[in-house]
């Protein structure tokens, strides 16, 4: 009889211990769910949950090879819908400002010249306004194709400028094209002064010229970077400008 009593006590002790363990586990789980998420310890992600960074696209222009031929090649411009698909050059320390006005990529004399920027602009297109110059050739080469933007249908259907530089593809959306005077724009405006930059932007958004196209709904502010493509007209006192605003900067290999 005494032995049966001890066995009963042992059974009850076991039941009590089990119940106590269940109660403690329940309290811990309840506390975990009540604890604010921001205070919970962060578990390291499993190997399976780690998503690798997408590979960078290759730059379609082999700048190492291009610059080995001529270090003044700083970029490449391509405008779908036109024949514009050229290297962009910028005079080095050993050449004058407008050296490429009548020089090709190999620095040889050619009346048609090259598409080029002046030394006042940085070659990585990081300035508020980067200006590229090109001749309006009768055979339709260089920047002659810019004059196509005078036609509304062409302006509406061809919206983008692609600039390739080492390590990046820059996409600009064309928002304005118009006849302007022949002033030296970079010497006429301080684009690092918001008031002066805005004054130029307002001229591009609302040109006074009768020959103009402006894309509705495109907002451009002094926080943006723009590109200005400049070429001649039939008058020495005029230039035809095509304006684009940077909308995407894609890093490349």
Burial code (b: 16+ CB inside 10 Å, e: under 16) for 138-152 equals: eeeebbbbbbbbeee
Range of weakest confidence among 4-18, 45-59, 77-91, 210-224? 4-18
The strand pair at 212-214 and 226-232 is best described as unpaired
> Which tens digit of pLDDT belongs to each residue from 216-225?
999 999 999 9
> 207 CB contacts (<8 Å, ≥6 apart)?
176, 178, 179, 180, 214
Task: DSSP for 89-128, please give it.
Answer: EE--TTS-TTGGGGB-TTS-B-TT--EEE-TTS-TTS-SS
Q: Which residue has the higher pLDDT, 5 or 191?
A: 191
- Within 8 A by CB and 6+ apart from 220, the residues are 175, 201, 204, 205, 226, 245
Mean pLDDT of the 138-147 span: 98
pLDDT for the residue numbered 53: 72
Separation CA 55–CA 140 (nearest Å)? 38
pLDDT-derived band at 40 (thresholds 50, 70, 90) equals very low
Query: So what's the pLDDT on residue 93?
Result: 87
**Interval 10-24 mean pLDDT:** 60
- Residues constituting the chain: 253
142: alpha, beta or left? (left if phi > 0; alpha if psi -120 to 50): left
Q: Which of 47-51, 63-67, 192-196 has the lowest mean pLDDT?
A: 47-51
Reported as a single tens digit per residue, the pLDDT across 61-92 is 999 999 999 999 999 999 999 999 999 999 99
The pair phi, psi for residue 26, each rounded to 5°, is -65, -40
Global pTM reads 0.80
Query: Between residues 13 and 129, which one has the greater pLDDT?
Result: 129
Give the separation between CA 186 and CA 93, rounded to whole angstroms: 19
């Amino acid at each position: 009889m005494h032995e049966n009593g001890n066995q009963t006590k042992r059974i009850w002790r076991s039941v009590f211990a089990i119940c106590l363990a269940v109660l403690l586990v329940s309290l811990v789980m309840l506390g975990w769910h009540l604890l604010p998420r921001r205070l919970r310890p962060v578990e390291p992600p499993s190997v399976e949950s780690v998503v690798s960074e997408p590979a960078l696209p290759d730059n379609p222009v082999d700048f190492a090879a291009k610059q080995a031929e001529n270090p003044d090649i700083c970029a490449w411009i391509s405008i779908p819908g036109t024949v514009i698909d050229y290297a962009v050059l910028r005079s080095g320390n050993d050449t004058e400002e407008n050296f490429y006005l009548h020089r090709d990529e190999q620095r040889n004399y050619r009346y048609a010249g090259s598409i080029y920027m002046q030394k006042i602009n940085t070659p990585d297109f990081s300035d508020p306004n980067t200006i590229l110059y090109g001749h309006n050739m009768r055979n339709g080469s260089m920047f002659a194709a810019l004059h196509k933007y005078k036609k509304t249908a062409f302006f509406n259907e061809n919206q983008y400028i692609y600039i390739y530089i080492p390590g990046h593809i820059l996409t600009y959306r064309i928002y304005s094209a118009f006849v302007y005077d022949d002033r030296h724009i970079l010497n006429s405006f301080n684009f690092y002064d918001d008031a002066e930059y805005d004054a130029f932007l307002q001229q591009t958004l609302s040109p006074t010229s009768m020959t103009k196209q402006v894309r509705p709904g495109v907002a451009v502010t002094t926080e943006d970077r723009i590109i200005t493509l400049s070429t001649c007209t039939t008058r020495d006192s005029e230039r035809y400008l095509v304006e684009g605003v940077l909308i995407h900067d894609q890093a490349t290999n």
